[in-house]
Chain A
Amino acid sequence: MKTAVFIEKRAGTERLRNVTLELTGKAAALMKPFHGEVVGIFVGDRLPEDTDDLFKYGMHRVVFYNNAKLKHLHSIAIKNIVAQFVKSEKPDIVLFGATHTGRDIAPLVAAQIYTGLTADCTQLVIDDYRDKGKILYQIRPAFGGNILATIVTPDHRPMMATVREGVMPLPEQKSNNTVKFEELTVDFKDEWVKSEFLRIIPKISKVDLSAANVIVSGGAGVGNKEAFKMIFQLAEALGAEVGASRAAVDFGFVEKDRQVGQTGSVVRPKLYIACGISGSIQHRAGMEESQKILAINKDPDAPIFGIAHMGIVGDLKEIIPLMIRYLREEG
């Protein structure tokens, strides 16, 4: 068996995206019982600086398609290169990060090859399927997160899936695979480059929710931007990072890069405090894996209490200042 992983750099840097390492670790774990191979493909003008990490997390080999024209996301060119790679390497499984790049390229590749692609998988398992032998079970939430569907691709190869960053935990165990690069030769056609990148404007963001041990998040229930300062104060008292629901972001209480959920960051801190957040399916999708959840909400029927471990029903405008005071006194 063979699993291929699409390798991505974090835009604006020369380093690997976390999701690439997470997928490498997952692929290595999937392949291990079958003594299978994990192959990476990288398309671009320069390999990431930290490719060593790929081998540490269990990759066996990296195929590098090197082209100075492919600094940016030229979808059609990258798709054609990856499709050629798939046709010649014949992996059984191909994994992409469910990033804006992965979700741009993977569907094009699957469409060209005539195979299945399952988006945003939260679990990947190899098992027997009827008379088809071992196949990949691709488990994903659907229907706004109200159902979990298991999707299979029984008759087409490769079986393709995308996984969001932060969903597969990074494995602890590191392998001592030897570093092995190969260059891929492709019959590159200039007409594959159909777009011109006029300008790249970096987004300035200091927020890294994925690394935080404790997150205090505010929602629409906080009420206004002024009141949202309370969330920052509580976070400061706890040494925590600040998160938010989409409603809080949409109301302009806080910047978009703090949004937690389906269209924001997926976080799994040790403690998540949800203040004035109802607990919509889309919000829960980004935080329900947290080890402990505390919900503060004036509505005892708010869905957030369904997944919380600690709860307090009442007005956050009274409760949070009290909390801050006692935290400071006790600390």
Chain B
Amino acid sequence: MSKIVVLAKQVPDTANIRGNAMKEDGTVNRAALPTVFNPEDLNALETALQIKDRTGREVILLTMGPYKAVEIIKQALYMGADAGYLLTDKKFAGSDTWATSYILAEAIKKIGGVDLVVAGRQAIDGDTAQVGPQVAEKLNFNQVTYVTALNDVTDKAITVERDGEFQTEVIKARLPLLLTVTSAANTPRYPSARNMLRYFKADIKENIPAEKRAEYERNGWVIPTLTFADLKDINEAQIGLKGSPTKVNAIRDIAVQGGDLKMYDPQLDGVKALVRDLMKQYVEVQS
């Protein structure tokens, strides 16, 4: 049976910025942000696990990132994924969405026997929603974006609901296929205690002391890594900073700045003054 690959990214928790993640000037201290499993990638994983529940298909998590991203691979194993690959290499650093999707697609080819890829709609650090479709293009797969529900699953096609903004579209999409899933699609399951006990020691090969290798392998605790050298057909000129068509020209932090703010007293008189100013404002608005 063909395998399912879930694409997931470990991201800074940009949604909950508070406390020491704020610098004095009101900008964000990126280094101080905790990292999380990108929220919609959990919905992607849940979609894949539901397909696994129905068909018994193998679910493999694939993430490209630094060693720390092993954390989300373990989280996926706890939730019920069968395996997870860490795609990591200095040569991958600085990749934009084009280069990232190229590397991910080559890794999926290397894993082999994959006819369904499930990604999150977008990652909360970049919010581009591009990597999923670009992986589909590079694999020459069919695609459905903005998936909000999983309906039927057969060997040849998957029926999903798609958020078409002004309409819901019920689509029967032929495999091989890539889906991008939104947070509306499901509620991700909790990690199971059994899987946590089973995998809590899991780690990449490079981190396992030689004398423990055999034990780790026997127990399925070795998280496989894929590096540049493993991706045979990849063109080095098209990855990393150099291979990326887009370049970041400038970055400006946005400080939460105090503008000219007029405060009103919450008591009767203040509310009266506010309403009078609003009416004035409102007259201007209407004219």
Give A contacts to B, CB under 8 Å. 10-12, 72-73, 75-76, 79, 99-101, 103-104, 106-108, 110-112, 114-120, 129, 137, 141-156, 194-203, 205, 213-214, 238, 262, 270-271, 280-282, 292, 294, 303, 305-315, 318-319, 322-323, 326-327, 330-331
Contact = CB atoms under 8 A, between A and B. Distances in A.
Interface of B: 12, 14-15, 17, 26-28, 30, 96-98, 101, 124-134, 136-138, 142-146, 159, 162-174, 238, 244-254, 256-266, 268, 270-272, 274-279, 281-282, 284-286
Contacts of B238: 114
B246 A146 contact: no
A177 to B, nearest CB: 29
Contact of A153 (B163, B245, B274, B284): B245
B286 to A, nearest CB: 8
12 contacts: A79-B137, A100-B165, A107-B130, A107-B132, A111-B98, A147-B252, A148-B252, A149-B252, A270-B284, A271-B282, A294-B278, A323-B271
Nearest to A157: B245
Do most interface residues of chain A lie in helix, strand or loop, or is the interface mixed? mixed
Given A110-B245, A314-B266, 12 more contacts: A103-B133, A107-B132, A111-B98, A111-B101, A111-B133, A120-B127, A145-B254, A149-B252, A203-B168, A306-B258, A306-B259, A310-B277
A11 B165 contact: yes
Contacts of B270: 312
Contact of A146 (B17, B98, B169, B248): B17
B243 to A, nearest CB: 9
Contact of B169 (A72, A76, A116, A214): A72
A147 B17 contact: no
A116 B246 CA distance: 5
A124 to B, nearest CB: 13
B278 A202 contact: no
B285 A270 contact: yes
